[in-house]
């Protein structure tokens, strides 16, 4: 008689791996996004300087880029940590769904989005 438990266990582990890969994709996207923000800000400042204009902003875009890059790394690390913990829980039969880590990621993402939106409004107001 075939072992019925094995396919379910394999499905659980494969789902855990897919979830980890989603964390990695999100982290890589944040790193690329942060690099683009920072690089674009530097390019704009250089263009303004070449044209003889003094940039009116303090260069916060570069800092937003750095924060996004660091966040991407933290997301990958968090996903890896969650993957390993879930794997151990699945092996022991004591799975616990994610708790505060999901809340922290959601709150940080909303906060970062609001900070970027506020900064864009600030830049628009200072340029006119």
- Are 23 and 81 contacting, i.e. CB atoms less than 8 angstroms apart? no
pLDDT tens-digit profile, the chain (128 residues): 455 567 888 899 999 999 999 999 999 999 999 999 888 887 777 877 887 877 666 578 888 889 999 999 999 999 999 999 999 999 998 888 888 888 988 898 899 889 888 888 887 777 66
Domain that holds residue 83: 5-127
Domains of the chain: total: 1
Backbone angles phi, psi at 56, to 5 degrees: -90, -10
Q: Give the ranges where the chain is alpha helix by DSSP (H).
A: 5-50, 60-92, 100-127
pLDDT for the residue numbered 45 = 77
């Amino acid at each position: 008689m075939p072992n019925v438990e094995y396919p379910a266990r394999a499905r659980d582990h494969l789902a855990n791996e897919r979830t980890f890969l989603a964390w990695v994709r999100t982290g890589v996207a944040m790193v690329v996004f942060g690099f683009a923000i920072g690089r674009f800000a530097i390019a704009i400042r250089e263009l303004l300087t070449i044209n003889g204009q003094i940039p009116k902003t303090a260069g916060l875009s570069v800092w937003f880029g750095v924060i996004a890059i660091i966040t991407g790394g933290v997301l990958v690390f968090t996903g890896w940590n969650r993957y390993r913990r879930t794997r151990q829980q699945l092996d022991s039969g004591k799975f616990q769904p994610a708790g505060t880590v999901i809340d922290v990621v959601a709150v940080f993402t909303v906060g970062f989005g609001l900070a970027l939106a506020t900064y864009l409004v600030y830049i628009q107001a200072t340029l006119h």
